[in-house]
Amino acid sequence: MLGELATLNSLSIRFTKFKALLESPTVDLDMLRKLSWNGIPEEIRHLVWKLLMGYLPANSARRDATLARKRSEYEDYVQQTFGKGVETLDQGLYHQIHIDVQRTNPSIPLYQHPRIQQALERVLYCWAIRRPASGYVQGINDLLTPFFQVFLAASVTPNIRDVETMAVDAIPPAVLVEVEADSFWCLGKLLDGIQDNYTAAQPGIQRQITRLQELIHRIDAPLHAHLVAENVQFLQFAFRWMNCLLMREISLRRIIRMWDTYLAEGDLGFSEFHLYVCAAFLVKWSDRLREMEFQEILMFLQSLPTAGWEEKDIELLLAEAFMWQSLFHDSPNHLTQSTTQPPN
């Protein structure tokens, strides 16, 4: 009872702090980042995400105009692209997006509704034709959904859980259009920061995987040695971790909490900090993995037992990642030592 009260109390103090920050004419983004690191209250998450993504200006007087402009710009894109019917689209690209949207978050009812699926298709298609260097890559559909769900929840119900099962037909068209537009711009900003994850041969991911292996070599040598002895290549499991930012490993609602911290980490949240999260994530299973042989390891890593994870599990993971980052990030020597003896 007392514990609950204390929790409620601290939540309300946090909420008040956020409120105070957000109500100032120009939001102090550094402070906002600091505060967001430990999680953002649901009621204001949409606003904080948009500010931290740099989609909304810190100056509150300029916000409405910016939003209106961005939303109308997106509406123009949609009109230009889809106005003449889907037959006029690049059929290869459209087909790939279409089949992937159909199988996005299959366990969440919201994403099974044709209205929602069409909205996601429009965002992904409009984005893909504007980024010819990468284009649409499977998995980007996953990355769109945290934005979409947070922004939609903000407009129709303050709760990211309830929105998953809501009556989609009840969403006013004007609301959906805005959610779609905001998601489009925020997805774009996110992907611009990790673009080389998705260009030819996906060099960003290859580099991340190499670094992950070096990190594991440093922070959990026995695990690293075991994986090497069992001929397990990091590419075999970590590719997906990088390509979908762990969205295939951790439930969408937990990912949304994780992104509070990624956004709070600034420009490198989805690349640099994510790397340390992956390291902390792998090390979490170290005891079990070290008991396993090749086949078991791969099967285990393909479907990790994270279904029961709660917010506190995510927060522990983030704290561990932060610790590894503090230890290694500014100490390149920690890593160069391992490169003289390249792991595997």
Partner 1 sequence: MAQGNEDPVYHYLFKVVLVGDASVGKSNLLSRFTRDEFNIDSRSTIGVEFATRSIEVDNKIIKAQIWDTAGQERYRAITSAYYRGAVGALLVYDISNYATFEKVSKWLAELKDHADQNIVVMLVGNKSDLRHLRAVPTEEAMAFGAKHSLSFIETSALDCTNVEKAFQKTLTEIYRIVSSRALETENSAKKVVAGGQAIVVGPTNTDTENKVDKSRCC
| Site size for partner 1 (CB under 8 A) | 37
306 touches partner 1 (CB under 8 A): no
- By CB under 8 A, tell whether 296 contacts partner 1: yes
Q: Which residue has the tokens 């019917």?
A: 85
Q: How many CB atoms lie within 10 A of CB 152?
A: 27
Both tokens assigned to 165 = 């099962």
Give the nearer residue to partner 1 in terms of CB position, either 14 or 240: 240
Residue 78 belongs to what H/E stretch? helix 63-82
106 binds partner 1 (CB under 8 A): yes
Report the chain's terminal Cα–Cα distance, integer Å.
Answer: 53
From the number of C-beta atoms within 10 Å of its C-beta (0-12, 13-18, 19+), residue 257 rates as buried
- Please say which residue, 118 or 206, places its beta carbon nearer to partner 1: 206
The only residue of 46, 49, 96, 154 in contact with partner 1, by rule CB under 8 A: 96
Residue whose C-alpha is closest to residue 241's, from 288, 216, 209: 209
Contact between 197 and partner 1 (CB under 8 A)? no
Binders in 218-247 for partner 1, by CB under 8 A: 229-231, 233, 235-236, 239-240, 243-244
Is residue 163 within 8 Å of 157, Cβ to Cβ?
yes
Report the residue number, 60 or 233, with the smaller CB distance to partner 1: 233
Stretch that binds partner 1, among 32-40, 68-76, 178-186, 289-297 (CB under 8 A): 289-297
Tokens standing for residue 310: 């709660």
CA dihedral 256→104→267→214, nearest 10 degrees, is 100
Shortest distance in whole angstroms from residue 142 CB to partner 1: 8
CA 303, distance to chain mean position in Å, is 19
Identity of the residue, 24 or 295, whose beta carbon is nearer to partner 1 in the bound complex: 295
Residues that bind partner 1 (CB under 8 A): 95-96, 99-100, 103-104, 106-107, 135, 137-139, 141, 198, 200-202, 205, 229-231, 233, 235-236, 239-240, 243-244, 248, 293-296, 298-299, 302, 344
